[in-house]
Structure 1
């Protein structure tokens, strides 16, 4: 009987293993940059073409390799980082498994040039699909240059599942940003399709952050520097100016290695729990230092996962440290928006700092004045009143029913069998949401030209996505022009958006796009919802009589005056029977 179990050829083993280590071009960039860092380089250059599908080149000025080391580096489980079993308990290098280079070489065409400072010449080594082709002596610089061509050329099943060049480019850019922030002491240059995206010299962390995200974040950063016998944590967290709708600006490093740990991410988010809204993510770049004996990186080939000896101790320490640095609430509050005059029927924003609980300074608006407005006689408005209250509008309100603004937040009035309360923010949000949906499908909203245009800087991958949805921004009333280096100038705003909110709105919509993509119905819905949320009046904005009249008229002329785009109720009704029960009359 023939044996049915076979030992696989080493080349096939390499290709199978490559599936775990090398998922996409960004994985190649990650592994090669880590090698450069372990080689003590202080200058690293990354050159990519077509999202890494055509070629990836990494050039560094590290210690380089001898001829024998070059050849050995492409053997499976050959590494310079470990020598004995006990070394696993104190890993300080980026790589240590000895899998990356043979995995990459098995599915690509590789050329490596390297030279050490002890030699007068270096070597060029060529390996294709895991097979050595040539090694020769050449004149080259001290350090290493490695070029990866035609990734997955010999595994067509893997190659066809790569995303578009644009998507792969975004993934590579995100990986590079991880390294820019983990090693601010290293100079990086990143070029994609002959365009320089990053050219950053060695800096302190804060200066590196300002180089990447722009000077505008300077006053929004909160420094963290704390330690005890078990853990040291330092870096920066952001105030609410830097909050985003996706966790794109969250960087956590353990012993200089970027990690993704749901428990620690939860600890940081918990520290913000009382000041963030649902679906918002804080900004942070934090370095944790723990004795390597208390952590295990040898969990997965990508080395992003980690196990802690006492994970709940780390969780509580991180949460407490971050929370303590958020105690000064004024540091976490966003900048106050600039204001502009109100014009009738255009915006409900008021520049009013009054925080009185009841606003009875002026004669309350009579609800019958609203019912007699021309808009209220519209069939849609009548139908919405009738559906909401199961009565005709003419029978609904007392003859002397009045409207008051409570806490500069709610509109309250008496009806025939109790009270109704309207949340002014979500009411206006519903109005703007439906306006935006119509605009996105039609001719667009009007724009107001700003006196002082604002400059907004994006990350390279974000800017690329922004260009893809520029037509949507123009439809809702933005006028923008390119300013170079991933930067735009905003010359005009939607008429309902207050000055100073343009950057947050643009970035929120961009976040939604990067979640849902361009033509997805959810994305269009979320563009309109983001626009409405930023443009709507806020809790604390005092409204005058004319504004309350206009708000309620427009609310009941919408298709759905009962819920905001996020599902929150707009109108709450308390019947006379419920009031009697509350006061124990029944």
Structure 2
């Protein structure tokens, strides 16, 4: 077949899915069109069941002659030549949005211009016609304005239509909230309302531009999202350098989600996960992430919950043409201004933390060097702590677990740093394909070995264990030699001597028994309940998430009810909960809200799956461990804590028989080589496949 140019109809059809990718994308384009028409009031109406999106505004309207041109490719009133691009202040100038929507939906436009007394309508691609107010009541009495109705969305894209059907209402509302906030950051005087299936979901009244800028940001954010945090917890930050200005608000307390982190450059949303990761690393290098725990009566060991700052940063910088044309969705991913802007933002955040009394554990001064923005290691170098996210130590098959080495025996056996939680490892060993293993599926694990630097024994140095691996089935064949120092159990496996941490081993046995018991109770709905009436105020956004998650919490034994107060706030009440959960929360409503929201954020970010769906797939509790990684974090924290407190401590004497029983129980565990908190339970000491062990040595005398 010879090469030839595609037909314009085919080309437009193929291109439509690039810009019109979702309900949210359609809403964004139509709302931005209304803003470009100088509208001060915008109403969005979405019917998810009938696939209809309708946007009405009070802008200057469209003349009949212009109405007949709409829908064509690159039809615009904003641009005539590329030389005009630097002066562009509108959202749209390509003349593509309506044209692309027409390729995958039906479009009706009704408009009234100030220069015309009548109402004109057009069902694209048919010509415009004049109509009376009775036929289009939305325009009745209006001096000017436009209604655009997009119906039968994605009628010719079955896969896209299916995706649209599957999207939850709460996810749709959240996505639209972000788009509306993006517009309000630049135009705070807008009055915007969004109805979904005839229910008011989003409402923002006009904010006076006479208000201080932080007050404008604060009001716009709370109008759209509700009270995610009390207003008194949002503080103003600002800085400037030459022609670059940064202003915004940052929360003095962390929240569990990164969903409320926004940077806008000349009114356009900036998106680069590397830089946002750098900002979060800056905050996580301080005690800022632990700030919430001071206000809770409940205390937790370590950092079992997420903690991120909420921030909205508006930046004014010299306009670059690439900022306008790089993305149809008006998002900025790359810009020449970032060489100055990103270090400026990091310095603002660093100053904010210092003002709160926190000393950042990272040095942001290195970002003043523009060369960092021109290398593959963008945002990775600091003097003290890496800002970049460290790669996880995962093999492709997910069957092996690696842990970094420590320097000394006691550092390994007593208190090594926790680099990755045990449940993340359990997840990668119990999800998908062969990884959904049972007791009969046996795989090898790389076992952390000792660093023998500084030891006086030449034999240990010369016979150090290297690349040591163990499978779970080998544990049952461990031969106990004796207990050592009332802390460890010395065992022989083949030609290797190993040391078992008796506390870590017993903790692992207990934690898996408790996890199994909890999962079985969850599947059989046989918790020991405690009746409660704890109430918490939540935002409208949070209320939507809780409504969709009520069956999920109910399965975990947490029974909730929600009552709406107004369009921006609701009250959620804990009716009853398992006894062990009640013992943890101790009537602390703030902590309760914290742990419940953490599970919702984990579900939304796909860190956990819904247990209701997993139960449908499993049908039984035979593979209970598959559900453990999806358990609410507060449950795993409770179980880990209980198992640690109940496990055999150092200093406890164990008989040979008791050691044998512990090893037998350990061999039945799913993750036998680590305790509940990630500490190794077994460490190889030395290879003993040597004739010297048949005799007495001045350093060692081991009787087998």
* 1:86 matched residue in structure 2: 83
* 2:426 matched residue in structure 1: none
**Rounded Cα–Cα distance in structure 2 between residues aligned with 1:328 and 1:236:** 14
Contact 1:436 1:528 in 2 (8 A): no
**Rounded Cα–Cα distance in structure 2 between residues aligned with 1:536 and 1:530:** 10
* 2:599 matched residue in structure 1: 509
Superposition deviation, residue 55 in structure 1? 0.5
* 2:520 matched residue in structure 1: 438
* 1:177 matched residue in structure 2: 178
Superposition deviation, residue 493 in structure 1? 4.1
**Rounded Cα–Cα distance in structure 2 between residues aligned with 1:549 and 1:481:** 48
Whether 1:318 and 2:345 are equivalent positions in the alignment is yes
Superposed, 1:27-66 pairs within 5 Å as 27-50=25-48, 54-66=51-63
Whether 1:254 and 2:265 are equivalent positions in the alignment is yes
* 1:569 matched residue in structure 2: 679
Superposition deviation, residue 97 in structure 1? 1.2
Superposition deviation, residue 33 in structure 1? 0.9
- More strand, by proportion: 1
- Residue 536 to residue 319, structure 1, CA distance change in 2 (3 Å): farther
**Gap regions ≥5 residues in structure 2:** 134-138, 208-215, 290-302, 361-471, 492-498, 618-624, 688-698
Superposition deviation, residue 451 in structure 1? 6.0
DSSP-derived class of the 1:288 partner: strand
Contact 2:535 2:572 in 1 (8 A): no
**Rounded Cα–Cα distance in structure 2 between residues aligned with 1:421 and 1:294:** 65
DSSP-derived class of the 1:317 partner: helix
Superposed, 1:353-368 pairs within 5 Å as none
Q: 2:226 aligns with which of 213, 217, 229?
A: 213
* 1:147 matched residue in structure 2: 149
Superposition deviation, residue 483 in structure 1? 0.9
Q: 1:228 aligns with which of 241, 263, 284?
A: 241
Superposed, 1:259-408 pairs within 5 Å as 259-275=270-286, 281-293=308-320, 296-328=323-355, 387=475, 390=478, 395-396=482-483, 401=486
DSSP-derived class of the 2:331 partner: coil
* 1:108 matched residue in structure 2: 105
Contact 2:535 2:571 in 1 (8 A): no
* 2:557 matched residue in structure 1: 477
Superposition deviation, residue 104 in structure 1? 1.0
Superposition deviation, residue 253 in structure 1? 1.8
1:91-115: CA deviation from partner (whole Å, max 9, x where unpaired):
3222221100111123222111222
Contact 1:448 1:493 in 2 (8 A): yes
Superposition deviation, residue 422 in structure 1? 5.7
Superposition deviation, residue 292 in structure 1? 0.9
**Gap regions ≥5 residues in structure 1:** 334-383, 402-412, 578-584
**Rounded Cα–Cα distance in structure 2 between residues aligned with 1:221 and 1:185:** 21
**Rounded Cα–Cα distance in structure 2 between residues aligned with 1:92 and 1:563:** 61
Contact 1:430 1:532 in 2 (8 A): no
TM-score using structure 1 length: 0.72
Contact 1:220 1:239 in 2 (8 A): yes
Superposition deviation, residue 58 in structure 1? 0.6
Contact 2:533 2:573 in 1 (8 A): no
**Rounded Cα–Cα distance in structure 2 between residues aligned with 1:60 and 1:332:** 49
Contact 1:26 1:168 in 2 (8 A): no
TM-score using structure 2 length: 0.61
- Residue 388 to residue 14, structure 1, CA distance change in 2 (3 Å): same
DSSP-derived class of the 2:38 partner: coil
DSSP-derived class of the 1:268 partner: helix
Q: 2:21 aligns with which of 20, 23, 26?
A: 23
**Rounded Cα–Cα distance in structure 1 between residues aligned with 2:62 and 2:263:** 31
Contact 1:25 1:168 in 2 (8 A): no
DSSP-derived class of the 1:47 partner: strand
* 1:581 matched residue in structure 2: none
* 1:457 matched residue in structure 2: 539
Contact 1:48 1:56 in 2 (8 A): yes
Superposition deviation, residue 480 in structure 1? 1.1
- Residue 236 to residue 97, structure 1, CA distance change in 2 (3 Å): same
1:194-227: CA deviation from partner (whole Å, max 9, x where unpaired):
1111222124321333342326433443432222
- Residue 312 to residue 291, structure 1, CA distance change in 2 (3 Å): closer
- Residue 136 to residue 301, structure 1, CA distance change in 2 (3 Å): same
Contact 2:599 2:632 in 1 (8 A): no
DSSP-derived class of the 1:162 partner: helix
DSSP-derived class of the 2:314 partner: strand
- Residue 197 to residue 94, structure 1, CA distance change in 2 (3 Å): same
Contact 2:23 2:164 in 1 (8 A): no
Contact 2:112 2:146 in 1 (8 A): yes
Contact 1:90 1:293 in 2 (8 A): no
DSSP-derived class of the 1:308 partner: coil
Superposition deviation, residue 329 in structure 1? 5.2
- Count of residue correspondences: 500
- Residue 330 to residue 220, structure 1, CA distance change in 2 (3 Å): farther
**Rounded Cα–Cα distance in structure 1 between residues aligned with 2:685 and 2:574:** 49
- Residue 239 to residue 547, structure 1, CA distance change in 2 (3 Å): farther
Superposition deviation, residue 149 in structure 1? 0.8
- Residue 95 to residue 538, structure 1, CA distance change in 2 (3 Å): farther
Superposition RMSD in Å: 4.4
Q: 2:197 aligns with which of 193, 197, 202?
A: 193
Whether 1:535 and 2:646 are equivalent positions in the alignment is no
